Each structure stands twice: as C-alpha cells, then as structure tokens.
C-alpha cells in the first residue's frame, strides 16, 4: 500500500481535491517505517548483530500500524467481558445516502451511531422484549470488499441486561434478541427524522435527499446467531475493530499502472473474485474511507457507556459471582507495549533475533527530510 501511495499519490492529488485529513493519511502511509520518520539503531552486545527499526506513522488508516493498538484495546476489553451470550447486529445505510455522506461525513456517521444505539436501547427497555439495559459496542465500517462506499455499523450486544434496580440480570435465551423487521422500521424512522433535522441548515443537500423513497424501502438490519461464548466475541473484535479499508495481503500485484485486488462478492455467496483497477482509481476509493479528524469509530452504550460503566459492570459481576478484574494484580501489573507484544503475539522486542540475548543497546536515528523514494511501478505491490 505504501508503494502505491509513493508511486501514484501525486497523480491522485493532481486529479481530485482531497481534504486535509485525506492528504495527511496518504502522507503518513508513504512515510511509515522509512527514514523520513527516524528510528532506532539496535546493536546486540553479545553477538554484534545490528538492525535498524524505523518508526511507524501510527495513523489509524495505515495498514501497517494497527497491530499494537488493536492488542492494547483488546487487552482492556477482556475486563469488560461478562459470562453471557452476545449477539451481533448490523445496521446498514441505503446507498442513496452516499452523496450526503461524502458531503457531510461527520454528521452522517454520527447520526448512524445515535440512531442504531437508540433503537437497540428502546427495544431493550420494552418489557415485551427484555425490560433491561444491555451492553452495546458499536464499530463503524464504511467500505465494501471492492472499496465502494458501504456504510454500516457492527453492534455487539449482550443477550440480556441489568434490570432497573441493578440487582438482577434479565436473560434473553435463544433467538436473535429482537425482531429484525421491527428493528429496521424503528431504525429507519429515527435516522430519517434525525437527518431531516440535521439538514435544516443545509437546504442545498436536503433538497437532494429522496425522503419519500427512503421511507418506502426496507432498510437492511441484519442479525447473526449468538456467539459461542464471550471468548468468541474477542476473536470477532480482533478482526473488526481496527480493520482498515484495504490491507496489504489483498493486493495481488501491480503492473503497468493496474492493480489486481482480491475481494469477496457477498452479494453472490461470498465468491472470491479479482478486481482490476488503475492505481490512481484504487487510491481514490481508499481515501473515501478516511474518517474525519478525531471521529471515534468504536463507541460504547448501555452498560458499557463510559459515564457509569464501572458501577454497572460491578453490579453485573456481583450478580454472576465474577471477581473484580482489578483484584487480579498479577494480570494487571504491566500492560506496556513490550508485555502485550510478548503475551499476545509472542514477540520479545528486547531479545536479539540472532542469539537470543537481551544485551541490546539502542541509539536514536534522526528523521531524514528527503521524501521516501518511489519504487518502480512495475513491481508487485505488497
């Protein structure tokens, strides 16, 4: 991906107008793990092996910079798992709203979070469905497998909730938690109502939204079967929470300015296919999914809402007889990057890769001001 940006980023910048955050993402990706960001020279005192480790850009859209962030985030989520079933619900916006999303992404994406979370909480509060407060974790994805704009929200919901007294857990056994058709109608109503109010100050955009057609069509709300236990939730989250629109392993090759991209066509049974695009067109699709600056794409609601999360989770643990995670001091003594890399990925950054010694000396390398050199456009992208 970095090679594509170095070779064809200028073509993209010249061919279309990009936002500041899109330009920043491209710049970060092309400089990631290159002398442009500086780094560290490591020398093993035992065997004399030397290596240079260039710094990462840490941009959340970079396909090479999500591993440690993901593992840190997952490590914190372990403490929030409860011994209950979890359900996966997906809320999707109709593609006719894509132009509005391109014009006002922060508004459209934020409204998606609010409408989906309010819909789930409304059904959960209803005694006919649950009569309790569930825990909700929502993750925004804006892309389809072919990098088209496909805005949807993945929600992980506890199949039950804490009753209003905070003394009892009300369990929802079997099924899909809430009726999907009813969820779809309520979600549609909440979103369109919020959209109309939000666009009152933007009549030029509001006039282009086909409200009548949107009210008539069924909105896609998809519910999957409950996860097979809390640990399966973590395995799922590891794949979804810090995923970027395009990863390096999906890029097959680059020849004569044409990129071959591996993708799955879920509209036809998930068949594996290959997409051919010009490198500039591929980058153009990629930047569609660069989020507004500071926009949070993973949010928590209900029991997991930040304001009262500690109190509510403590009440749940008392009910289930689960010990407070802070009492397990040996598991929480060190959650630094070295410990996380070692425990989760089996990587010890303090050990020499040649002789296994821990006698490593490090010296900083200052960033170089020159731009990373582009590779020949005929070489395979990786």
Residue 157's alpha-carbon distances to 131, 230, 304, in angstroms, are 15, 11, 10
Does the pLDDT value for residue 233 go beyond 70? yes
**Is residue 160 one of the residues assigned to a domain?**
yes
**Is residue 203 one of the residues assigned to a domain?**
yes
111-125 pLDDT, tens digit per residue, is: 999 999 999 999 999
Residue 112's alpha-carbon distances to 47, 163, 239, 253, 371, in angstroms, are 56, 27, 21, 36, 39
**Is residue 130 one of the residues assigned to a domain?**
yes
If pLDDT is split at 50, 70 and 90, which confidence band does 365 have? confident
**Is residue 55 one of the residues assigned to a domain?**
no
**Is residue 174 one of the residues assigned to a domain?**
yes
Q: Tokens at residue 95, please?
A: 């593609």
Does the pLDDT value for residue 337 go beyond 70? no
What's the pLDDT score for residue 270? 79
124-155 pLDDT, tens digit per residue, is: 999 988 899 999 999 999 999 889 999 999 99
The string of DSSP codes covering 313-325 is HHHHHHHHTPPPG
**Is residue 201 one of the residues assigned to a domain?**
yes
**Is residue 241 one of the residues assigned to a domain?**
yes
Give the count of domains, the chain: 1
Strand segments (E) across 28-148: 39-44, 50-54, 86-92, 135-143
Q: Which domain holds residue 200?
A: 83-245+295-321
What's the pLDDT score for residue 335? 60
d(CA 248, CA 261) in angstroms, rounded, equals 10
Say which DSSP state 64 is in.
T
Does the pLDDT value for residue 302 go beyond 50? yes
Q: Three-class SS of residue 5?
A: helix
- Distance between alpha carbon 263 and the CA centroid of its chain, in Å? 18
Does the pLDDT value for residue 312 go beyond 60? yes
236-279 pLDDT, tens digit per residue, is: 777 777 788 888 888 888 898 899 999 888 877 778 889 999 99
Q: Using alpha carbons only, how large is the chain's radius of gyration in Å? A: 24
**Is residue 53 one of the residues assigned to a domain?**
no
Does the pLDDT value for residue 80 go beyond 70? yes
Say which DSSP state 133 is in.
B
């Amino acid at each position: 991906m970095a090679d594509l940006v170095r070779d064809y980023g200028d073509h993209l910048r010249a061919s279309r107008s990009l936002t500041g955050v899109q330009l920043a993402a491209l710049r970060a990706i092309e400089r990631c793990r290159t002398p442009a960001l500086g780094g560290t020279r490591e020398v093993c005192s035992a065997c004399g092996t030397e290596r240079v480790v260039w710094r990462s850009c840490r941009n959340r859209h970079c396909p090479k910079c999500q591993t440690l962030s993901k593992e840190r985030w997952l490590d914190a989520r372990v403490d929030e798992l409860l011994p209950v079933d979890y359900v996966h619900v997906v809320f999707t916006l109709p593609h006719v709203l894509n132009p509005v999303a391109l014009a006002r992404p922060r508004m459209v994406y934020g409204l998606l979070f609010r409408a989906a979370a309010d819909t789930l909480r409304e059904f959960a509060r209803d005694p006919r469905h649950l009569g309790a407060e569930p825990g909700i974790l929502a993750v925004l994805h804006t892309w389809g497998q072919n990098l088209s704009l496909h805005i949807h929200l993945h929600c992980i919901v506890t199949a039950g909730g804490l009753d209003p007294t905070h003394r009892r857990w009300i369990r929802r056994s079997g099924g899909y938690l809430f009726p999907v058709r009813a969820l779809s109608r309520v979600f549609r109503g909440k979103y369109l109502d919020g959209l109309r109010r939000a666009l009152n100050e933007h009549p030029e955009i509001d006039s282009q939204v086909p409200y009548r057609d949107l009210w008539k069509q069924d909105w896609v709300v998809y519910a999957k079967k409950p996860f097979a236990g809390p640990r399966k939730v973590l395995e799922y989250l590891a794949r979804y929470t810090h995923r970027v629109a395009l990863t390096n392993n999906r890029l097959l090759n680059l020849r004569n300015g044409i990129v071959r991209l591996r993708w799955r066509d879920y509209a036809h049974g998930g068949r594996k296919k290959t997409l051919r695009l010009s490198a500039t067109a591929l980058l153009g699709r990629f930047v569609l999914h660069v989020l507004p600056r500071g926009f949070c794409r993973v949010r928590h609601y209900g029991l997991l809402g930040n304001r009262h999360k500690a109190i509510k989770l403590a009440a749940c643990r008392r009910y289930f007889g689960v010990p407070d995670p802070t009492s397990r001091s040996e598991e929480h003594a060190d959650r630094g990057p070295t410990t996380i890399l070692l425990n989760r990925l089996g990587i010890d950054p303090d050990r020499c890769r040649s002789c296994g010694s821990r006698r490593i000396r490090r010296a900083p390398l200052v960033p170089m001001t020159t731009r990373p050199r582009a590779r020949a456009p005929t070489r395979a992208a990786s």
